[in-house]
Amino acid sequence: MSGSIVLVHLAGAVALLLFATRMVRTGVERAYGDLLRHRLRGILKNPFLAVGAGGVLAICLQSATAVALIVGAFVGSGIVGGASGLLAALGADVGSALVAKLLSFNLSFLSPLCLVAGTALFMATEKRNLLQIGRILIGIGLLILSLRLIGEASEPLRDSALLPVIVQYLAGDPITAFIVAAIMTWLFHSSVAAILLFAALAQRHLIPLDLGVVLVLGANIGGAIIAVMLSRASPPRSRIVPIGNLLMRGAGAIFALIVIMLFKPPFDQLGATPTSAMLNWHIAFNIGLAIVGIVVASGVYRIAERIATSGVKTSADDPAVIELSVLNEAALDTPMQALGNATREVVRLCELVEIMLQKVFELYENPDEDGIKALAALDDRVDRKHQAIKLYLAKLTTRNLSQDEMLRCQELLGACVKLEQVGDIIVRNLLVHVRKKAERGLEFTPEGWKELRDFHASVLANARLAFNILVSRDGESARQLVHEKDRLRDLEKRANTSHFNRLREGTAKSVETSTIHLDTILDLKQINSLLASMAYPVLEELGMLGGSRLKAS
């Protein structure tokens, strides 16, 4: 087999590994993302539990990068403390290392089982959680399969004349090997994938152990760079945790590299095989960083804070404060370009509404006057954008539009109106409930709060689906959103029945919060109905609506 064919097979196997990892993460985020985030917010208030919480979340999401970004957003919004957030990111690195270790075992027997079970679930149900469990199982099956394919694809490299030369050069130049591994990891956008690739090569004795441990160090710093790069457009305070994590892992990796170059530690004692020794070293390195982080997290966070906020303007001229509009009047004579501009602006409106919907429930749990004012300010921005988009589309309709262009214009206008109505419900209804709950010092029962939290999580997931449909106009997603509307109606009935049962039992907290509980569910249901109706233009265009209801599939 020629060298180019071998590289193509290896690239394909690595691509499948990256896709499978992403598939697992997507499934977990869609099925349990909001629940995990909610639990994480509470646990992160304890700095010592933060390390373990970050590790568990990284194992669930198959990504330390995702955890760093989530925790960074929590810290940026003031939900958790900075030092705790940094410790959670370090714990996530430990969890990521454990995932790599677990996947290094021979789990090939699980691949067909996961693929069959996952496909059966995915094809046989339309329930959101079961669909996502199916997605997770398929992702795990493909992930295990990809590791076997990497091993098979790399087997011909044993006879390669070029590979020993490259390996010998990298083994003699640890600094270059370190940089190459960091770049590869950044390109993969997954430290787990990079580590597993290095482990597969080591398992076939294509790279020596001494080079492997250096590549592992490079992968660690490359993984930290990913989160920093992905968060570069986030608010400055949301970037502190990724930057702090990079400082910790970067300093730790460089220090370890210097020690390796000077003292040549006996890494073969870490495991019976080069692969196990590499992965054990990966785990030990990240555990060591987490232990050191417990001591120095506060200091590192302050340094990262200075880096993230340096040069940040606070005046009205700050580009982050200015609302740039893409509603270019000159494009009105080119309808398709104008519709593209309007779509981009409506997507921004979607982002604001999603933030409002997420933030208002955080205020239910931790009412804060500054947070309430910030949410009201967001509604003002929604109103301004709604007005601007509406006027822009009204001017566009005076042009000579085709039927398809006119329908798209009406669809965007309808979505814009619905988004503005959602913003009004959040501020005029849900925010009023927040104030009432805070002023009266009321608390929901654990059961009641779980019902509200689950109901809100479903509405938030449907909101994201609706916003995707607005851009993708995918018929299957639109059908799923309308089915979710029916599922939410059943969820409302169960929640109300449980609430009235608690009232009959005379539960004090249920009596005190009854009005807020029922009104909150009603308002969330109304929001969900508005969002679900954004799917109707797509379904109608595809002939998937019958009368006033979705046609049976």
Q: What are 178's two structure tokens?
A: 């370190």
Task: Give the chain's domain count.
Answer: 2
First to last CA, the chain: 48
Q: Are residues 282 and 337 in the same domain?
A: no
- 3-state SS class at 337: helix
Does a structural domain hold residue 82? yes
438 compared with 39, residue with greater pLDDT: 438
Both 223 and 280 in a single domain?
yes
Q: Is residue 318 part of a domain?
A: no
Two structure tokens written together for 355: 């933030």
CA 252/CA 292 separation, integer angstroms: 10
Same domain? For 266 and 369 the reply is: no
Kindly compute the dihedral angle of the four CA atoms of residues 7, 13, 19, 21, in this order, to the nearest 10 degrees.
-120
pLDDT at residue 89, as a whole number: 92
* Residues 113, 60 share a domain: yes
> Residue 139 is encoded by which pair of tokens?
């992702």
Percent of the chain with pLDDT over 90: 30
Domain-ending residue, one of 278, 309, 340: 309
Asked if residue 479 belongs to a domain, the reply is yes
- 351 with 249, same domain? no
- What tens digit of pLDDT does each residue of 173-222 get? 999 999 999 999 998 888 888 998 899 889 888 899 999 999 999 999 99
Query: Sign of the CA dihedral 374, 376, 379, 383?
Result: negative
Task: Report how far residue 58's alpha carbon sits from residue 497's, in angstroms, rounded to the nearest whole number.
Answer: 36
Residue 469 lies in a domain: yes
For residue 321, being part of any structural domain is answered with no
Are residues 56 and 18 located together in one domain of the fold? yes
Are 238 and 140 within one domain?
yes
DSSP, collapsed to helix, strand or coil, labels residue 545 as strand
Say yes or no: 271 and 341 in one domain. Answer: no
- Residue 426 resides in a domain: yes
b/e 468-497 (16+ beta carbons within 10 angstroms → b): ebbeebbbeebbbbbbbbeebeebbeebee
What's the Cα-to-Cα distance from 108 to each of 122, 141, 197, rounded to whole Å? 21, 9, 16
Q: Which domain holds residue 149?
A: 3-309
Could you report the per-residue pLDDT of 85-125, keeping only the tens digit for each?
899 999 999 999 999 999 888 888 899 999 999 999 888 87
Say whether both 166 and 200 belong to one domain: yes
For 426-483, how does the pLDDT look when each residue is reduced to its tens digit (9 = 90+)?
Answer: 999 998 888 888 888 888 888 888 888 888 888 988 898 898 888 888 888 888 888 8
Rounded distance between C-alpha atoms, residue 388 and residue 379, angstroms = 14
Q: How far apart are CA 553 and CA 551, in angstroms?
A: 6
| Domain CATH for 352 | 1.20.58.220
Per-residue pLDDT tens digits for 481-516 = 888 887 888 888 888 888 788 777 766 666 667 888
Same-domain status, 11 and 106 = yes
Residue 36 pLDDT exceeds 80: no
Last residue of a domain, one of 309, 344, 363: 309
In a domain, 322, yes or no: no
Q: Which residues pair with 549 in a beta bridge?
A: 546
CA dist 112 and 304 (Å) reads 45
Arithmetic mean of pLDDT, 126-138: 84
Determine the Cα–Cα distance for residues 43 and 89; give it in Å rounded to an integer.
Answer: 13
Do residue 342 and residue 305 come from a single domain?
no
Are the C-beta atoms of 286 and 245 separated by less than 8 Å? Answer: no
pLDDT of residue 337: 87
Please name every residue paired with 550 in a beta bridge, in sequence order, or none if there are none: 545
Do 242 and 348 reside in the same domain of the chain?
no
SS3 state at 470: helix
Q: Tell whether 338 is covered by a domain.
A: yes
Tokens of 478: 């639109």
Using one digit for the tens of pLDDT, what is the confidence trace for 234-292?
778 888 999 999 999 999 999 999 999 998 899 989 998 999 999 999 999 999 999 99
